[in-house]
Amino acid sequence: MRQGFTHTIAGKGEGSAASFEVINPATGEAFALCPDATREQLDRAVAAARQAFPAWRRTTQEQRREMLRAFGEAVRARTDEIAELLTREQGKPLQRAKEEIQRSLVNLAGILATKLENEVLRDDARGRVELQHHPLGVIGAITPWNVPILLAMPKIAQALYTGNTIVLKPSPYTPLTTLLLGEIAREHFPPGVVNILAGGNDFGRWMTEHLGIDKISFTGSVATGKRVMASAAGTLKRVTLELGGNDAAIVLDDVDVKAVAPKLFWASFGNSGQICQAIKRLYVHEKIYDELCAALVAIAGTVKVGEGFEEGVLIGPVQNKMQYDRVLELLADTKRQPGVRILCGGDALPRPGYFIAPTIVADIREGTRLVDEEPFGPVLPVIRFSDADDAIRRANDTRFGLAGSVWSSDEARAKTLAEQLEVGTAWINHHLGVEPDVPFGGFKESGIGREYGADGLKHYSEIRAVSRPIIPPRPAAAPGAKP
């Protein structure tokens, strides 16, 4: 049982009297103990962040950029160590864990290349008005278990780059790699600027209620996001919520099935389907429906599912027992639906851990739980349509609105349809991929606010208008007059 992990509070490592087990989803057994932070430790972390804030916000943007760059390079130097731990606690294949760390560093670099400058609203006869972006203070960040490093790094970067300090809580399912980030951060930032503590669900509520935290940046489920917003309302905290997405891809009848099938498969089953903007509903035109279904099933038959350190594994387990049980429950409900066909998979694999075979479901419609809810696992419903406008209507008929895509050999046709999707990100002939210079977030219940890009950075600051009237010139003095 691995031990020795510590929180980062005021620039120092610190344990807790209590701890909780961290489960390896490939075995279903605990492999490490994580310290369980107390409310008193949170109070001290927030106090340290508040104490560090005045000096930190006075640093220049370039100074903050250089410290964040050095932090990123230190993370890069420990990629192998972090990736090994990430595979054990999250379950993804080791190579995918390394790629997650690499992508987080690409996003860090992109954030640091983004400019957030004051804007002159007007400068005319009425006067000059300048809009300034003022840091909020202490950011409370809460990250999920599906891509813990990929989501922790940009929250740290955006908070610090805009002059804020941060208190970050990782998911209790995957806390250890994020605690390692805190360990690295101690060597690169003044004490109190970065604080990372692990704890259970109560810890998240303590954060959202805390008087000393000025904003919550949360990534997770819709249900939890609503609780975060309700809790934060008591202190009128600013919130950014990047929530779930039951994202649709619409495939028109003119695509090259062989060319698009692998792209659609991995946009659905990457990370075992545990990506918020992954394809969760695949709408396929009736003319190519059977052909595309067959192509997806063929790909699924070649993919090795297993423990992340096994040679050739491409899909790992569902990350935790609660999510595993939920996906199996949705599959059981799906099997009871009349006329629905399970083309491949459909069951748990007969081995330890939380493994479910990649599952493709055909002849299913809206009104079933698998289509209407977000499964967040290796299960893909494939839905038949005959009219593209009807497919758009059906794709939009949901409380979700994170992302979506349209696939066609006619790019102009695809663009016309994609612009009708009620989503924060609409892709054409591809799906997945958050870019650090492009704002990301959702419509409807898929979130509030944006991360990334200049718009994302603005959500980590408050706008202050500085207004200065034009001072009329003094009249010239009369000749011989005393000054």
* Helices 148-161 and 176-185, packing angle to 10 deg: 30
Q: Which residues contact 401 (CB under 8 A, 6 or more apart)?
A: 245, 422, 423, 424, 442, 443, 444, 445, 446
- Whether the CB-CB separation of 255 and 407 falls below 8 Å is answered with yes
Helix (H, G, I), strand (E, B) or coil at 139: strand
Neighbours of 31 (CB within 10 A): 16
Which residue is catalytic, options 100, 276, 307, 374? Answer: 276
Where helices occur in 336-448 by DSSP H, the ranges are: 369-372, 388-396, 411-418
User: Which helix (H) or strand (E) segment is 335 a member of?
Assistant: helix 321-335
At 309, phi and psi to the nearest 5?
-95, 0
Neighbours of 105 (CB within 10 A): 19
CA distance 281 to 405: 11
Neighbours of 202 (CB within 10 A): 10
What value, to the nearest 5°, has the Cα angle with vertex 145 and ends 139 and 148?
60
- Whether the CB-CB separation of 191 and 12 falls below 8 Å is answered with yes
- 177's tokens: 């790699």
CA distance 432 to 7: 33
In the residue annotation, 276 being an active-site residue is answered as: yes
Q: Choose among 241, 194, 235, 197: nearest CA to 222.
A: 241
CA distance 404 to 267: 11
50 burial (CB, 10 Å; 0-12 / 13-18 / 19+) is middle
CA distance 138 to 129: 27
- Whether the CB-CB separation of 129 and 121 falls below 8 Å is answered with yes
Half-sphere exposure of 98 (CA within 13 A, CB side): 9
CA distance 33 to 135: 36
Helix (H, G, I), strand (E, B) or coil at 232: helix
Where helices occur in 170-282 by DSSP H, the ranges are: 176-185, 201-209, 222-232, 257-269
In the residue annotation, 242 being an active-site residue is answered as: yes
- 441's tokens: 């977030």
> What per-residue string of b and e applies to 333-372 under the rule 16 or more CB within 10 Å gives b?
ebeebeebebbbbbebeeeebbbbbbbbbbbbeeebebbb
Which residue is catalytic, options 242, 307, 445, 451? Answer: 242
Residues marked as catalytic: 242, 276
